Structures are given as structure tokens and as C-alpha cells.
Amino acid sequence: MLRHVQMTQGFPNCIGIGVLGYDGVARAHIHGYTRIRDVFGPEAPLPRLVSVCGRSQDKLTKAALRYGFEKYTSDWMDLISDDEVKVIDNCAPNNLHSEVCIEAARHGKHILCEKPLGRNAEESKRMLEAVQKAGVKHMVSFNYRFVPAVMLAKELIDAGKLGKIYHFRARYCDDSLVNPETPFAWRMDKELAGSGVVGDLGSHIIDLARFLVGEFKAVSAMATTFIPERPLREEKGKRGKVTTEDAFTATVEFQNGAIGTLEASGFCPGRKNFNTFEINGSKGTIIFDLERLNELEVYLDDSSEPTVNGFRRVMTTDPSHPFCRYWWPTGHIIGWEHTFIHEIYHFLRCIKDGEDVGPIGATFEDGYKCAVICDALLASAESHQKVDIS
Amino acid sequence: MLRHVQMTQGFPNCIGIGVLGYDGVARAHIHGYTRIRDVFGPEAPLPRLVSVCGRSQDKLTKAALRYGFEKYTSDWMDLISDDEVKVIDNCAPNNLHSEVCIEAARHGKHILCEKPLGRNAEESKRMLEAVQKAGVKHMVSFNYRFVPAVMLAKELIDAGKLGKIYHFRARYCDDSLVNPETPFAWRMDKELAGSGVVGDLGSHIIDLARFLVGEFKAVSAMATTFIPERPLREEKGKRGKVTTEDAFTATVEFQNGAIGTLEASGFCPGRKNFNTFEINGSKGTIIFDLERLNELEVYLDDSSEPTVNGFRRVMTTDPSHPFCRYWWPTGHIIGWEHTFIHEIYHFLRCIKDGEDVGPIGATFEDGYKCAVICDALLASAESHQKVDIS
Amino acid sequence: MLRHVQMTQGFPNCIGIGVLGYDGVARAHIHGYTRIRDVFGPEAPLPRLVSVCGRSQDKLTKAALRYGFEKYTSDWMDLISDDEVKVIDNCAPNNLHSEVCIEAARHGKHILCEKPLGRNAEESKRMLEAVQKAGVKHMVSFNYRFVPAVMLAKELIDAGKLGKIYHFRARYCDDSLVNPETPFAWRMDKELAGSGVVGDLGSHIIDLARFLVGEFKAVSAMATTFIPERPLREEKGKRGKVTTEDAFTATVEFQNGAIGTLEASGFCPGRKNFNTFEINGSKGTIIFDLERLNELEVYLDDSSEPTVNGFRRVMTTDPSHPFCRYWWPTGHIIGWEHTFIHEIYHFLRCIKDGEDVGPIGATFEDGYKCAVICDALLASAESHQKVDIS
Amino acid sequence: MLRHVQMTQGFPNCIGIGVLGYDGVARAHIHGYTRIRDVFGPEAPLPRLVSVCGRSQDKLTKAALRYGFEKYTSDWMDLISDDEVKVIDNCAPNNLHSEVCIEAARHGKHILCEKPLGRNAEESKRMLEAVQKAGVKHMVSFNYRFVPAVMLAKELIDAGKLGKIYHFRARYCDDSLVNPETPFAWRMDKELAGSGVVGDLGSHIIDLARFLVGEFKAVSAMATTFIPERPLREEKGKRGKVTTEDAFTATVEFQNGAIGTLEASGFCPGRKNFNTFEINGSKGTIIFDLERLNELEVYLDDSSEPTVNGFRRVMTTDPSHPFCRYWWPTGHIIGWEHTFIHEIYHFLRCIKDGEDVGPIGATFEDGYKCAVICDALLASAESHQKVDIS
């Protein structure tokens, strides 16, 4: 017997979403919204893609059709003043983070903002104050918190499996900048981006450091720009001056006494998306690598079985692992885009159920604290001195 | 300026899909259809989830809502006689493969059928004859052909990069059966499933062997059932007799002179989805492992640089790799489910453009040839003799 | 205060050694003897390099000086009739194994013979009977038993850590034969070698299979010769006919019900010394690879900690690991040659203390049983039938 | 026909060796001398183990017999004034490095000194001046330069295969200190050792950085002592104060513009001998790990074959690799101790042939420059400022 489905049935309380941006990471965000029902089932909060905003009229039309938005606009004030939009997802370049988010908060919208929060700590602080004043939910898209392996790392640390933490070291490296003919981009303009790899890649590993190990006490950094000029895309034969850093290295001291290193660079041939960390505690070690995000290497000092101690390659795809019961049978890996599905699900659930975004999700407060550390890294690289994080 | 999108606009020629099944692998198929527009853009054929068929009325309602089907039915004749349905996607258990597919072919439907095609060669042959007679498009869901790394392996072999092929060996192993209290399932009943791991896991690696190396000449096999009885889910305390094999090992000879081994087992603790192969040719070697499906290990004998020869861990996420230009920047991995998106896109494109499903996709002819080899493996395990593949 | 050392002091009971051969693996044996005192200390039996035998007078002189032999001879009867020689170490080509060993046994010498024991089971049986009749100690140089990781694997299996064994699979592959211009060698002449990769590489993994899993019940094999002719070293422009197999693949059944595969080939580009096995039992899995001989991968099903189960990369360099207390601090790896030091120490200790060579060391009985299986592999490849191992 | 060998024949020009120490790393040195003839053949300089010096009379006697020294003494002045001794090998604790070496130089002995050279830059400088004044050969035992994979890395860099160097990062970590009950040792006493992990582990990676990338421009460091007191071996129940650092992290700037990080720690559970570095240049990347010292990971940007670019696991055991033609067939790995054989061979050959120890071997000048950097690391950790290396 054939039955017809009323699609509206059962989904009375959709959450209207407005997205600023449609390319790059915005596409990953948009995809995240479309998977919530399918992955998490009917109990999950159901997002509704209300409106998308961007600069190019032509691309906007296509993006709206391709991803299923009901409306589109090239004026972001349209987006944040739309009554059907409850959540603003800000995937604009860094220079549009603060203005849009602050205005969106004034309009009472919940906000998911791409990282880094602001271009610096001062800008980030104003954003934090705006959302706090407005009483809206706020999250920074530090999506790597939502990798099952990273979440498992946090669970193991919080459960004391690693004991007292002695070391954290992280690198986020790729080879995207190594070719000197790679064209100039907005991330190379300090005015637009605030900083280079510090804000782009470094902010991710700073956030993971805080998420997993705790607050920073001090940093000491070096930064450099290997290729000072790059060809301009718009003007054939001309080159633009790179005003942000290509790479940085840093030592870091945590409030709990652990020490470590941080590094980000686009000049590491063969490294494609090498966001890696290693944490050592008195009882064990954890290693993660985003290029193999379905795995976590875990060493637990088991003196009862000394002959078989070793780093365990844990496939984090078991139903017992964070988020994995929603996915496929064990051993069937997920991809990079799935981290956004987890993140967005968390955010929408917090909105729907009135729960706190933190400490699991990164709030604007986390985004601000991260910005303080980014500023300190750049200041230390300038002053050649260790900078305390207050 | 705000614009409203007419969702029907631009998609006049949707392809109506009817899916038999909603759990397990059917969920991966269904997800595949929903991603075509988002991933491949407006030029791609657009599937429309018309109807879903299953046994449980309650689950059907939920599945229809969750995945966005317009209708649902518990009678598969409804599904295949639905005029709005152009493609039947058969994810039913093996015993429903032949009857449904043959009837669907009679109704002029294009068919995507889960592997193995039939429960044996005879059944598979009738299915092949039915689709050939009906002149419809047909594909067996050997989705691992559509892993970018596997497709790259095929490209390298076809381009002669490996030279003359000497060896192929493949294993598809996991630990899903190692617990003797794992309950009885339909795959353990020869009547329903046709065979055990031979058809379930073995068919995948047989298909990959044919896809990558070529036709078989002979096989010689051993098969065994380690746990002869398993607890029945429905009847507490009772056990059902396992009438299919738990594991097999085989040697294989190809028509091109290569020799190798095949193996499948559910009794390999720690192996979670270990579908792996290694191919050696006169000029190089290729290694693949489904647990790390975004990588291909490649050794190319480069006598001009002997000191730096070695297995290369190629991350198959570059825009130059098969299907990857539709995805994320290099280094941002995809997951298991994405193989179905690629597969379904290929099938829909063949339907839309009137192109051949093979040799890229596995046709029912491939499914039949695979079934012949499966039968030969089981016959050899019985007869203790090498069995020629005619 | 300076003291002078009397070098003879404290070593009254040296064991005189006579070695047949000085190149290739003989060099590894000879080195083994010279390290016993240094590695195992003053309690260890002390070998004395009495005499070396080979064909080339010139090379013999050099070898004697280089390695520290007291005498040399080009007549092996000199070697085995030398009263100062207590142990004959036979590193001659396969065709000289039986005659020399049988005669040496008659002269009451203890014998260490390179693998394979004889060129076939019949020859091996006569060698076994000779040493048994003479009552001398006998060992076949299956040195991979003496890799710490392999010894650890045996300990884990014997202690029941893997539970009931379900699968064993082993490959010994390299790329030494893949170049068709690699010259003809004695191993390619069935008359001299008995067999090709079956006896050369296959015998090693057959011995490991028996050592770790137990006796064989049946085998079924395929064998092939990819390059039928090779250039003769002695006669420029001429080619010799290869009468042994280049590669084999086999399935194997053990008396305990386990099944598996065996393979050896010199046609695997990139594989350099890839002697690898994987063993699955009801409770765990073990993986070994000779190219990383200081590691053992171990998976133990620990249901009390499901979230951190995974393959453990155990560095087998801890003092708690077999033989490792004699070596360096943990993490300081040993090399391939050290397996011979362990093996020779074991043999000399058995001679000195009157202990049994087996089951730790491989006796001539093990060598014979291995030869029976080698013969069965070749017979099965001929007959296309499974061959039972009685 | 049996011939007797005159052992003295052919070795008229032995080089007399005197070793200070017999345990730990001294044992690896001593072993190195005994292998020169066997490994490098009759053309190699032949060392003669003349005399060994240590504190315990009983252990000295045993060591002399075990390793084959002709004499022994507990007074190091005996050793360095012995006319038969041409080379002093100083494996004493750090506090005995300068006094013994300076006196040995005065006696005209060539000197191999364990690392670090002196306890600080000042002491090291006096040692350098002494050997320069005496005109003797001098080498610091930075043995990791003599790992074939490291030597290959140097060859690749020097040949420009990596292009302009952008990054160097190295860690030397183990878990030897993580247990708080690990007893107090001389390395924890600043007076005896000069520094903790900085001089012990850090000096190795500093030397490799200079060897591979070039001179330092500046460093900025953090250092800490996690366990301030440890049980005294000699006095049950009492604890000694640890006056050296347990761990350090640093950022480093090279004169060629590259930046990177350095780290050493004994608080990394699961890391056993993890001396690892990664170097990125404009054209490629190199990765090394001492736990797998027979491998080098190499990425070369090959834009002509973009689909198969990836990190190559190069087994550095081929005859074309540094030192490997003296060893076994490709794929047969060497161990940690073999680095000392290479190093000692190099030193003896320089003595015999009157060649320069550097730039391949580390001279006392290298040892001094390393000490300057060690001092700078500790100074930076104190001052919280970047320290320039003049």
C-alpha cells in the first residue's frame, strides 16, 4: 500500500539560517546544515536554509539553487534583519567578522563565526561584549574540537588517563604557500586578515591547546615572511606586498606547568593538511594528525603488561567513540566535512535546548582568549621577549 | 536587495528514484542521491527521492520523513510499478535481488543492485539476461571502484606505470564475527545469502581484482566455518546453525599470467574494515587499504634516482585525483560514504547521457562474472582441486 | 696501577668452529661467533674460529685474515676431519648440504646447517637420520626464530594471549628478481638448489608457521617462472634456463583448524626484505615485518577499554623482551645480523650445557618437516590438487 | 690442503686505543673498534685495544677480558701516558671530559670524546684550544651524523634537492625520566653534568641542525624541572636535589633565514629513543626518526607527476646509500651500535690518511659551537629573551 509523505509534517520548529558566504569553508558549513536531519534523526533540531549573502549576484543565484536557500541577497544588512533568520553563520573574510557579528547580535541573532574571531584581541573583545549584551548563543568555528579523535583525546585527558600533563606540541603545516607564484590573497594583507598563518592556522592549534591542556601562561615566538611579494590576480605582471607572516614557531608555557611548542607554516612540501599534536602526561601520550583524522595514537603506561606496551593506533570509528554512533559501522571512516556537521548539530542543539555552547564548543570567549594569544605571539616575535598571557 | 528562489526552477528533468531498503547500506545509497546537486553542481543529473520500500510500516514512515521521500510502501511491486520511479535501487537482502531486479527490468526501470548480484552464478545470469532484454541501464554496487585511490590505481595500471602485472593479493577482513555470541544473521543462512564471506566481502575484492588486473584463469580455495552455531535474536536461548562459510583463503591465477591470493574473514581482531590489496608489476607496486581510503602507496622503480626510491604515501585528495576536484582543498579527506556519491553520480550520468556504465562502473555482467568466481571458490573448497574459470 | 691481561686466562673451554663458506650469509654466521663473548659475557660458551673452507684459495686467505680464522682449506674433508673443530657450520650451496652434513655427523661434529636443510624431503631425511645416529647436536639456520619480536610473538601465543588461532598468513617478498637482466645464479638451477623461492624464502615462513601456529594439515599451491631465461655471468651473451620457480602462492590448513596463505616472490618492486606475517586468534592479532624487525604490532581485544583498543606498535627493545637484556637501553635498535648472534649463542649453549636445541631452535627434524611441506607445495602446483601433509 | 694463518701477518700498523670507561656508551665504542677489520676489510686502519681505564678494579678485569684489552688501569694518567696508546677515547662522565682531554692532547694523543664536549662553552673552548695547540686529531662522538639515513639527508641537502631551507625542527625525547622513582644520577647534578637534557639529548639535535642546515643566528628557550628530587641510589630513603633541567623547548633562527623548534625531554611516555627531525625546503621535505634509523622519509616536489607525489619511505640499506656497501644486501637493516662503527672508522681513517675529521665528523670546534648554543638555550630560559649566537 503506497503512502504519500507530507514533508512539513513533524518539523514545525525549524531554525532559520542565514549564511554569509557560499564558497570555500562556507560550503562546508552549508552542507553541515543539510545533513542534520539525515544524520541525527527526527529528534534533532532542524535547520532551514533561509538566506545566503555574498557579493556576486550571479554566483549568489547559483549558490542558492545549488544548496537550496530560499532567498539570497548581496547586502548583509538584509541577512541580519531577516525575521525568518534566527542564526547568522559568518563565513566572510576576517575584516567582516566584527562589524557583521556585532550588528547581528544587536538584531538578536545567534551567531556562528568562522575563526579567527576578530583580527586581533581588541576587535574580538568587542564582539564578545556584543553577544554577551544581546544574550544570544555564540560559537567560533573551531571545528577540530568536533573530530571524534580530538573529542576522545579530551575525554581521556579529563578522565585522568594521561595523568599530569607535561608537554603539548602542535603544528599546523601545509605546502600551500611554498610556490612563490601562488597569487596574493586577502590573508596576506594585514589590514584585511589581521595576521597570516597565526590567525589562519595557528588559531586552530591554540584553541586545541586550550581545549585539551588548559590556559596559557606565556609564549615566546619567532615569525617570518619568506616570500615578501606575490603576483596580483587582478593585475597581470604586478606584485602585491605580503604584510602578514608566512610562518611562526613558538614555545609555550601553560598555567599547569606543561611546556611545549607551536608552529604553523605554509612552507612544508608534502604536508597537505598537517594539523598534528602530541600530548605527554605522566601516564601516557596521545598523538593526532588531521590527515588521518579517523585515528588517534594512544600510549598508556601499563606496567602490568610491559612486553606489549606500545602506541596504539585507535580507529575512532566505533559506536563508543564521540559522535560515531550516528555514523557507519566501525571501520567505515568519515571525512573532513563531517566535523562541521558535528559542530553545527552541537550549536543548534544548544539553541534549541537552551544549553551552554561551552566548554565543548568554542564560544566567543574562547575566540577572544585565542586572539589574546595570537597577539602575544606576534608581539613576542617583535620584541624578542617572552610575553605573559594574563 | 533580497531575492526569492523558486526551488523548481532549473531542475525540470529530475530522475525519479525508488529505493528498496532504508537501513544499513541503503542509508548510504540514499545519502548519495541527496548530495548530487550540492557536490556536482547544476549540470549534474538531479535525482528525486520518489519512494522507499521496506517491511516495517513504522520504520518506513520515519525513514521517508528523515530522508525526504515523497512516498513509501511495504509492497515492492508498488515501487517497481510506480511511473514516477525511473531507477530502482535494490538494497534488499540477497534472496530478494533476482526476483525484484528481474521484475523491475520488465517494468523498464534502470537498476542499481547491491552486491553480490545473485546468490550464485545461475541466478546472476538470469538477472543479466533480464536487464539486457529490457535494454535498461544496470549497475552492481561495487562502490570501492569509486574510491579515488582505487580509480587512481586503475589509471596508473592502464597507463602502464606498473609495467607487466605479476602479482595481485587482496584481503577483506574485519573482526565482526569473532565473538561467538554475535547473533545469527541472514548472511549466515545459505538459503537467504547464497554464501557467507565469499559473497559479502570476497565479491568486493574479486571485483577489484577483475577491475584492476583482468580476468581470472583459475582459483583454488579453502573455506571454513569456525563458529557452527550462533544465538538467535528472536528466540532467547536458542541457537541457529550457520550454513555459510566464516572465512576463505584462495590462490588465484589470472589470464595475463599473474598469480596471487584472496582472503576474506570476520575473525581478524583489530581489523575493522581492512579491504586491502597489493599489486606488483615489472615497474612498480601499488598498495591500498580501505581503512585509510584517502591514501595510495605507490612504488615506482626510478633507476635515475636510486637513493630516494621508496613507497610513496600519496594523499589522493588533490584536484588532479579522480573525483577530487568536486571536493575540498588538498589534504581535506573524504569518508566511506562518499564512494556511494561517486558511484551514484556515475550511474545517473550514464542514464542521463546514454553512456555505458562499464568499464568504470560494474555492470550486471561484472556481477555475473564475479558470481562465477564465487561459485568456483566454493566448489574448489569442496573438491580440493583447482577450478578453471571459463 | 697498570695490569696486563692474559688473554687465554678464563677461557679454557673454547668450542672449535669450522665454517664452510665465507661470503654472503656465512659472513653473518662468522660475525655471530665473534660477538658471543662481548654480548653474553664470560659465562657464555666461547667459540674459537678454527678453520674456514671455500673454493678460491685467494679469497680464503683474505677471509681467514679478515675474520680471524686460524687455518683455512679448500677441501671440506679437511674441515670435518679437523680434531680441533667441534662444530661444522655449513653455509655451502644447497647441493653440498647433505653430503657434507652426513659426513660431518659421522665424524661426530655438531652441525649448524643453512636453510633449506636438503634439496628435498628425501635428502633432508637422510641428514636427519645421520645426526640422530651420530648423537650430535643439530640445528638448521632458521634465524628468524631468533628475532626478539618473533620470540615475543611465540611467548604471547604460548601464553594464550591470542586465544584460539584462526589465521596465519605470511609473505616473504623482495624485488631481487624483477630485473630480467639479473644474472643466472645457482638458486635458479633445480639440480643445485632443489627449488627456487620455495626453498629459499618459502622455507623461512613455513618454519615460522610451524614454530608459531603448529603442524600443517594440507597445502594447495600455484607456482610460476616469470623469466624463463637469464644471462649467464660466465658466458657473455648467452642465457641459462631457469629451472626453478620465481614465485609461489599457497593456501594452508593447520591441524588446529586455522587456515591461511603463504607466498614468496622476488617480483615485488619496493619490497626489500619483506618477511611478514599476521596471526589472528580469538583474542588478538600479531603482525611482524622483517624490514622493521625491532617492532611487533599487537592487538589485544580489551573489552574493558573499548575506546582505546588498537594495534600497538611494540618496540621490542626492552630488557623484558627476549634477548634484549644483553643489548642496549630500550629504543636502541638491533640489526639483521644480530639474529645470528642469538641463534649461535643458543646452539653453543645447548652444546655446552647438553640441552635440547628445540623447540626454540630449529633442529634437523624441523628442517625435514619443512622440506616435506616444500615438496608438497611443488607437488600441489603440479597436480592442481590439495596435498595432505602426513 | 690445510693452511695456517699468521694472525700478525698483514697488520703491521695497528693503531693503539685507550678507552676511558667500559659500561654504557663505552661498550658501544669498544665494539666499534673490534668490527673495523671485519666490516671494512684489510685496507681499513686496524685498531688495537691496548688499555681500558675505569674506577672499579673488579669490573675492569672483567671488561678487559670480555672485550679483549691487553691492559687495564684505574688511573687515567696511566692511560694517556701509555706509549702504545695513540688514541684516547673518552667515555667518562662530563666532569672528566676537559681535564682528561686537555692532558691527553698534551701527551700528543688523538682524541675521541663523548658528547657534550665540555660542561659549558668555556670548558669546551679550552679543550678546543688544547687539541689545536697539540696538532692532534679530535672528534666529538656525535654518532648520529653517521646514520646512513642522516648522511643521505646531508647529501640530498648539499645537492640542492630540497632547495632553499625554510624549516628545521627536531625533538629528542624518551620516557626515561617520567617515573619519579627513577633514581638520582650524575646527569641530574649540574656540577658534574653541566646541564640536563640540554647537554645530553639536546646537544645531539643541535649538532644535527648545524650539520644539516647550518649555523644558528638566535635561540629562545624555556626549560623546566618536573621532578625536583629523586631517590639516592646509595642512601636508602634519601632524595637528592635535581639541579639540571628535565626538559626544554626552544625556537631557533638560522643564519640562512630558516626558523624552527628544538625540544628534548625524558617525560614522553612511549617515546623510547625518539630523535627525530623534519626539514622543509622550497623543493622538498625530509623526515628522520632514530627509532627507525634504517628509513628516511623524503618528499620531492615533482610537478611532472602530480598524481603520485607523496612521502617516500626510503629504506636506506641500498649499496648506493652511505656506508651500506659494507653491510648486507638491501633490506637487511643495521642497528644503533653500527653508527659507532662508522664513526670510529671515519676517525681512524682520518688519522691514518692524515685527512680532516670535519666536515663529515664533528670536531672539537663543532663541539664548542654546540656548547655555545647549549649555554644560550639555558641563558634564554633564564632571561626570557631571545639570545643571539655570535
Separation between Cα atoms, residue C10 and residue A234, nearest integer Å: 86
* pLDDT tens readout for residues A123-173: 999 999 999 999 999 999 999 999 999 999 999 999 999 999 999 999 999
Percentage of chain D exceeding pLDDT 70: 97
In a 13 Å sphere around the CA of D353, the CA atoms on its Cβ side amount to: 12
Instruction: Look at residue D114 in the predicted model and tell me its pLDDT.
Output: 98
User: Would the CB atoms of B174 and A78 count as touching at under 8 Å?
Assistant: no
Compare CB distances from A42 to B34, B65, B338 and report the shortest one's residue: B65
What DSSP character marks residue A385? Answer: B
Residue C139, judged by CB atoms within 10 A of its CB (0-12, 13-18, 19+), counts as: buried
Instruction: Look at residue D276 in the predicted model and tell me its pLDDT.
Output: 98
The single residue listed with the C-alpha cell 637534557 is D197
Instruction: State the sign of the Cα–Cα–Cα–Cα dihedral A181, A184, A189, A192.
Output: negative
pLDDT at D1 over 90: no
Instruction: Look at residue A5 in the predicted model and tell me its pLDDT.
Output: 66
* Polymer length in residues for chain D: 390
The single residue listed with the C-alpha cell 549497475 is B139
Buried-state track C171-180, b at ≥16 Cβ within 10 A, e below 16: bbbbbbbbbe
Separation between Cα atoms, residue A7 and residue A16, nearest integer Å: 17
Separation between Cα atoms, residue C55 and residue B200, nearest integer Å: 59
Nearest chain A residue to C319, by CA: A307
Separation between Cα atoms, residue A79 and residue A91, nearest integer Å: 13
Confidence of residue D62 (pLDDT cuts 50, 70, 90): very high
Percentage of chain B exceeding pLDDT 90: 93
Buried-state track A26-48, b at ≥16 Cβ within 10 A, e below 16: bbbbbbbbbbbbbbbeeebbbbb
Instruction: Look at residue B1 in the predicted model and tell me its pLDDT.
Output: 64
Q: Answer yes or no: are the C-beta atoms of B105 and B130 closer than 8 Å.
A: yes
Separation between Cα atoms, residue D43 and residue A294, nearest integer Å: 54
pLDDT at C99 over 80: yes
CB of C309 within 8 Å of a chain A CB? The answer is yes
Q: Going from the N-terminus, what domains does chain D have, and what CATH number goes with each?
A: 15-143 (3.40.50.720), 145-335+356-388 (3.30.360.10)
Separation between Cα atoms, residue A355 and residue B93, nearest integer Å: 42
Instruction: Look at residue A304 in the predicted model and tell me its pLDDT.
Output: 78
User: Would the CB atoms of B314 and D307 count as touching at under 8 Å?
Assistant: yes
Confidence of residue D11 (pLDDT cuts 50, 70, 90): low
* pLDDT tens readout for residues C47-83: 999 999 999 899 999 999 899 999 999 999 999 999 9
pLDDT at B12 over 70: no
Q: By three-state DSSP, how is residue C150 classified? A: helix
* Strands across the sheet containing C87-90: C138-140, C110-113, C87-90, C15-20, C47-53, C71-73, D2-4
Separation between Cα atoms, residue C124 and residue C182, nearest integer Å: 30
Which of C154, C157, C285, C307 to probe the A interface (max A CBs under 10 A)? C307
Phi, psi of A38, rounded to the nearest 5 degrees: -60, -45
Contact list in C for residue A318 (CB cut-off 8 A) is: 306-307
Instruction: Look at residue B302 in the predicted model and tell me its pLDDT.
Output: 80
Q: What is the distance between the terminal CA atoms of chain C, rounded to a whole angstrom?
A: 68
pLDDT at D6 over 80: no
Q: Which three cell numbers stand for residue A186?
A: 586577502
User: Would the CB atoms of C333 and D330 count as touching at under 8 Å?
Assistant: no
User: Would the CB atoms of C166 and B282 count as touching at under 8 Å?
Assistant: no
Instruction: Look at residue B6 in the predicted model and tell me its pLDDT.
Output: 55
pLDDT at D5 over 70: no
Separation between Cα atoms, residue D15 and residue C317, nearest integer Å: 34
Which own/partner pairs from C300-306 qualify as long-range (CB within 8 Å, at least 24 positions apart)?
A: C300/A308, C300/B269, C300/C161, C301/B175, C301/B178, C301/B269, C301/B270, C306/A318, C306/A320
CB of C271 within 8 Å of a chain B CB? The answer is yes
Mean pLDDT confidence for D35-60: 93
Mean pLDDT confidence for B240-262: 98
* pLDDT tens readout for residues C17-26: 999 999 999 9
Q: Where are the alpha helices (DSSP H) in chain A?
A: 25-40, 57-67, 76-80, 97-106, 121-134, 148-158, 190-193, 197, 203-212, 338-353, 364-383
pLDDT at D52 over 90: yes
Cα distance from B37 to chain A (closest Cα, Å)? 6
Cα distance from D231 to chain A (closest Cα, Å)? 18
* pLDDT tens readout for residues D114-170: 999 999 999 999 999 999 999 999 999 999 999 999 999 999 999 999 999 999 999
CB of D253 within 8 Å of a chain A CB? The answer is yes
Contact list in D for residue A260 (CB cut-off 8 A) is: 249
What is the residue-averaged pLDDT of chain B?
A: 95
Mean pLDDT confidence for D64-88: 95
Contact list in D for residue B321 (CB cut-off 8 A) is: 307
pLDDT at D10 over 60: no
Q: How far is CA D22 from CA D53, D64, D66, D342, in A?
A: 8, 9, 10, 19
Separation between Cα atoms, residue C283 and residue C300, nearest integer Å: 6
Nearest to A88 by CA among A13, A40, A141, A45: A141
Confidence of residue B5 (pLDDT cuts 50, 70, 90): low
User: Would the CB atoms of C333 and D291 count as touching at under 8 Å?
Assistant: yes
Q: Which three cell numbers stand for residue A317?
A: 570509528
CB of B310 within 8 Å of a chain D CB? The answer is yes
Neighbours of chain C (3+ CB pairs under 8 A): A, B, D
Residue numbers of A between 202 and 221 with CB closer than 8 Å to D: 218, 220-221
In a 13 Å sphere around the CA of D12, the CA atoms on its Cβ side amount to: 0
User: Would the CB atoms of D250 and A251 count as touching at under 8 Å?
Assistant: yes
At position B212, the amino acid (one-letter code) is: L
Instruction: Look at residue A117 in the predicted model and tell me its pLDDT.
Output: 98
* pLDDT tens readout for residues B66-121: 999 999 999 999 999 999 999 999 999 999 999 999 999 999 999 999 999 999 99
For residue C116, say if its preceding peptide bond is cis, omega within 30 degrees of 0: yes
Q: What is the DSSP string of A258-269?
A: -EEEEEEES--T
The single residue listed with the C-alpha cell 645537492 is D159
Q: Answer yes or no: are the C-beta atoms of A269 and D284 closer than 8 Å.
A: yes
CB of C276 within 8 Å of a chain B CB? The answer is no
Query: How many degrees, rounded to 5, is the angle at CA B244 between CA B243 and CA B245?
Result: 130
pLDDT at C110 over 80: yes
Instruction: Look at residue D298 in the predicted model and tell me its pLDDT.
Output: 98
pLDDT at C308 over 90: yes
Mean pLDDT confidence for D43-48: 92
What DSSP character marks residue B160? Answer: T
Confidence of residue C312 (pLDDT cuts 50, 70, 90): very high
Q: Which residues of chain A have pLDDT under 70?
A: 1-2, 4-12
Q: By three-state DSSP, how is residue A209 classified? A: helix
* pLDDT tens readout for residues B147-171: 999 999 999 999 999 999 999 999 9
Separation between Cα atoms, residue C207 and residue C148, nearest integer Å: 16
Nearest to C310 by CA among B263, A338, B335, A321: A321
Residue numbers of D between 319 and 358 with CB closer than 8 Å to B: 320-321
Which of B173, B216, B261 to probe the C interface (max C CBs under 10 A)? B261
* pLDDT tens readout for residues D107-116: 999 999 999 9
CB of C245 within 8 Å of a chain B CB? The answer is no
pLDDT at D186 over 80: yes
Q: Which three cell numbers stand for residue B115?
A: 552486491
Separation between Cα atoms, residue D279 and residue D213, nearest integer Å: 8
Compare CB distances from D263 to A169, A284, A384 and report the shortest one's residue: A169
Cα distance from D336 to chain C (closest Cα, Å)? 5
Q: Answer yes or no: are the C-beta atoms of B32 and B343 closer than 8 Å.
A: yes
Residue numbers of B between 130 and 189 with CB closer than 8 Å to C: 166-167, 169, 171, 173, 175, 178
Nearest to C71 by CA among C35, C17, C6, C14: C17
Q: Where are the alpha helices (DSSP H) in A54-173?
A: 57-67, 76-80, 97-106, 121-134, 148-158
Contact list in A for residue C313 (CB cut-off 8 A) is: 310-313
Q: What is the distance between the terminal CA atoms of chain D, rounded to a whole angstrom?
A: 68
> B371 - beta bridge partners?
none
What DSSP character marks residue C183? Answer: P
Query: How many degrees, rounded to 5, is the angle at CA A75 between CA A70 and CA A76?
Result: 85
Neighbours of chain D (3+ CB pairs under 8 A): A, B, C
ipTM of the complex model: 0.96
CB of A51 within 8 Å of a chain B CB? The answer is yes
Instruction: Look at residue C306 in the predicted model and tell me its pLDDT.
Output: 85
Residue B112 CB contacts under 8 Å (≥ 6 apart), including other chains: B29, B87, B88, B89, B90, B138, B139, B140, B141, B344, B347
Q: Which three cell numbers stand for residue C373?
A: 611441506
Confidence of residue C6 (pLDDT cuts 50, 70, 90): low
Separation between Cα atoms, residue C245 and residue D372, nearest integer Å: 62
**Between A1 and C196, the higher pLDDT residue:** C196
Q: Where are the alpha helices (DSSP H) in chain D?
A: 25-40, 57-67, 76-80, 97-106, 121-134, 148-158, 190-193, 197, 203-212, 338-353, 364-383
Contact list in D for residue A271 (CB cut-off 8 A) is: 280, 285
CB of D308 within 8 Å of a chain B CB? The answer is yes
Mean pLDDT confidence for D225-236: 95
Between A112-126, B131-145, C62-76, C342-356, the lowest mean confidence (pLDDT) is in: C62-76
Q: How far is CA A54 from CA A78, A91, B283, in A?
A: 11, 10, 51
* pLDDT tens readout for residues B206-223: 999 999 999 999 999 999
What DSSP character marks residue A281? Answer: E
For residue D116, say if its preceding peptide bond is cis, omega within 30 degrees of 0: yes
Instruction: Look at residue D101 in the predicted model and tell me its pLDDT.
Output: 98
CB of A308 within 8 Å of a chain C CB? The answer is yes
> A165 - beta bridge partners?
A281
Q: What is the distance between the terminal CA atoms of chain B, rounded to a whole angstrom?
A: 68
In a 13 Å sphere around the CA of A366, the CA atoms on its Cβ side amount to: 29
Query: How many degrees, rounded to 5, is the angle at CA C226 between CA C220 and CA C232?
Result: 125
Separation between Cα atoms, residue C162 and residue C322, nearest integer Å: 18
Nearest to D361 by CA among D203, D150, D141: D141
